[in-house]
Amino acid sequence: MSNNVTVIGNLTADPELRFTASGVAMVNISVADSRRYKDRNDEWQEDTSFFRGTCWRDMAENVAESLTKGARVVISGRLKQRTWETAEGEKRNVVELDIQEIGPSLRWATATVTRTPRTGGGDFGGGGGYGGGNAAPAAPVAKTDYGPDEAPF
């Protein structure tokens, strides 16, 4: 069984980039998803849901560098439940997004994509990717004026 979800909404704050004690990058985001509908009296109503989410490593750094408060984003991930106990001994529960993919929505905006070199490993094994293997990161170059025979992919 799978619990994959897609959330489309606006960031309610700038992404919060932090590092674990071992130096692993993580970013927390909060996104608002608003839905407009007409009620029984034919009047417009708005219902907003708020979701918190986390992503890790290179993606976390890319999110912190690329996205800001108010940006409309498309998120794909899994729902994760986390439980903890407050200082007063009360049990708390929250459901959050474990973000697998995130990017700007292009429905009402444009974006310029700059590829960053891969620093190794990843989901596809040891080599490959944009920068190949464990090569030292090179400065990313944004090229947006591709000719018809030189697509960027």
**Which region, left, alpha or beta, applies to residue 102 given φ > 0 means left and ψ of -120 to 50 means alpha?**
beta
Per residue in 13-32, pLDDT tens? 999 999 999 999 999 999 99
Question: What is the reported pLDDT for 146?
Answer: 41
What CA–CA distance (Å, rounded) separates 132 from 67? 26
Cα angle vertex 80, ends 76, 69, to 5°?
Answer: 55
Question: Is residue 81 within 8 Å of residue 94, measured between CB atoms?
Answer: yes
- For the entire predicted model, the pTM comes to 0.69
Strands (DSSP E) contained in the chain are 4-11, 16-19, 25-38, 44-56, 72-85, 91-104
Cα–Cα nearest to 101, from 52, 140, 59: 59
Determine the residue type at 41.
N
Structure tokens at 124: 């596809």
Phi, psi torsion values for 62, nearest 5 degrees: -65, -40
Pick the CATH number of 4-109 from 3.40.630.10, 2.160.10.10, 2.40.50.140, 3.40.50.10680: 2.40.50.140
DSSP 3-state of 62: helix
Q: Which of 73, 54, 43, 71 is nearest to 16 (CA)?
A: 54
The pLDDT of residue 1: 58
The Cα–Cα gap between 137 and 140 comes to 8
What pLDDT shows up at residue 145? 45
At residue 61 the predicted structure's pLDDT band, cuts being 50, 70 and 90, is very high
Residue 34, pLDDT above cutoff 80: yes
- For residues 89 and 20, what is the distance between their CA atoms, to the nearest angstrom? 26
pLDDT per residue over 83-126, tens digit each?
999 999 999 999 999 999 999 999 988 888 888 887 655 544 44
Domain ranges of the chain: 4-109, 112-153
Higher pLDDT pick, 75 / 125: 75
